[in-house]
Amino acid sequence: MSDGRVRLDELSEGDECSWQLPTVTRSHFVRYAGASGDFNPIHHDDDLARAAGFPSVFAPGMLMAGALATYLTNWFGPGSLRKYRVRFTGQVWPNDSLCFRAVVRRKNDAARTVALELSVANHDGRTVLRGNAVASVGPGG
Amino acid sequence: MTLLSANTDLGSTTFPVELGKVREFATAVLDDADYRADSCRPVPPTFTMTVALWPSESEGSQPELGLSAGTIFHGEQEFEYLGDILIGDTLTARSRLSGISNSQTGDGQDMRLITVESRFSNQRGEEVLVSRTVIVQTGGAS
């Protein structure tokens, strides 16, 4: 039964998947703040962000982490993540264009899991997020 | 004010996993799955960040993390998934300060790293998630 998720026999070490996101906007920041409860004003108050020395508000890191988790869930299936770890390495500004990238670093056929290296880069090449994950992979092979 | 050290108990929070909040959060993280009340689809993987919306319960006074001064950033986040979290569950998150250290930023500014570990259990007492958050504080009280 095919449900759209990747199968173990379709993956090899070194395989890469990347996703180009729609342009991020202040509306994304605000929607995430309301949904998550992260009301750190650095993410929605431009006056305060500038007073703190930034050119403008920037994205909550967990917005990008949450969206990357969405793409991984779409790739491997709901409930497939076993571990997910991210480190925020750069700000994401309004109107940034982002690319999510996941590389299969290790494949464990016995456990039916893959270890992934993750990164998010913006349109000027800056890496804004680095991370890794372990995902269970569905039947196949 | 409670003196902070590794293993300081930060209390617990119990909250329901609600359909409306799951749908709202999913939209915010670009997840277009059609979550319903009877979904057997687990919630989005970072959904437990919404614990921030619920009050913490603790027997004694709540330790003050001293995060009101300076600028705070979310530095790192980690999740270990031990079981599915579904709409209709009730989760209890028990948190502790699992690490605190001082460092410096690349341009020589004092920086404090605070790690909070939260362990989430469901209404059946099953542990479903471990979350670790590293908060970075610059320019605040040491």
Cβ(A121)–Cβ(A98) below 8 Å: yes
Check residue B3 and give its pLDDT.
56
Position B71 confidence tier, pLDDT thresholds 50, 70, 90 = confident
Check residue B66 and give its pLDDT.
66
Between CA B63 and CA B42 the distance in angstroms is 33
Between CA B49 and CA B132 the distance in angstroms is 11
Residue type at A99 in one-letter notation: C
CB contacts, 8 Å: B49 with chain A: 36-38, 62, 66
Tell which phi-psi region holds residue B19, choosing left (phi > 0), alpha (psi between -120 and 50) or beta.
alpha
Closest partner residue to B28 (CB to CB) among A35, A79, A82 is: A35
Name the residue of chain B whose CA is nearest to A81's CA: B81
B33/A36 Cβ within 8 A: no
Name the residue of chain A whose CA is nearest to B132's CA: A85
Tell which phi-psi region holds residue B125, choosing left (phi > 0), alpha (psi between -120 and 50) or beta.
left
Check residue B67 and give its pLDDT.
67
Residue spans of alpha helices (H) in chain B: 19-28
Looking at the complex, does the CB of residue B77 fall below 8 Å from at least one CB of chain A?
A: yes
Of A7, A8, A57, residue with least CA distance to A32: A57
Say if residue B24's pLDDT is above 90. yes
Q: Each residue of B77-131: pLDDT tens digit?
A: 999 999 999 999 999 999 999 999 988 877 888 889 999 999 999 999 999 999 9
Dump strand ranges (E) for chain A.
16-20, 81-88, 98-108, 113-122, 127-136
Residue type at B48 in one-letter notation: T
Looking at the complex, does the CB of residue B83 fall below 8 Å from at least one CB of chain A?
A: no
Between CA A20 and CA A27 the distance in angstroms is 18
B9-16 β-sheet, strand order: A16-20, A98-108, A113-122, A127-136, A81-88, B71-81, B127-138, B110-121, B90-104, B9-16
Angle at A30 between CA A29 and CA A36, to 5 degrees: 90
CB contacts, 8 Å: A35 with chain B: 21, 24-25, 27-29, 50
Position B1 confidence tier, pLDDT thresholds 50, 70, 90 = very low
CB contacts, 8 Å: B72 with chain A: 40
Residues whose CB falls within 8 Å of the CB of residue B5, separated by 6 or more in sequence, listed in order: B97, B100
Check residue B93 and give its pLDDT.
98
Q: Each residue of A111-121: pLDDT tens digit?
A: 999 999 999 99
Q: Could you tell me what percent of chain A has a pLDDT over 90?
A: 91
Looking at the complex, does the CB of residue B41 fall below 8 Å from at least one CB of chain A?
A: yes
| pLDDT mean over B49-78 | 80
Between CA A132 and CA A102 the distance in angstroms is 8
Closest partner residue to B29 (CB to CB) among A34, A67, A83 is: A67
Looking at the complex, does the CB of residue A120 fall below 8 Å from at least one CB of chain B?
A: no
Of B12, B1, B43, B9, residue with least CA distance to B26: B43
CB contacts, 8 Å: B78 with chain A: 83-86
CB contacts, 8 Å: A75 with chain B: none
Residue spans of chain A under pLDDT 70 = 1-3, 139-141
Name the residue of chain B whose CA is nearest to A69's CA: B45
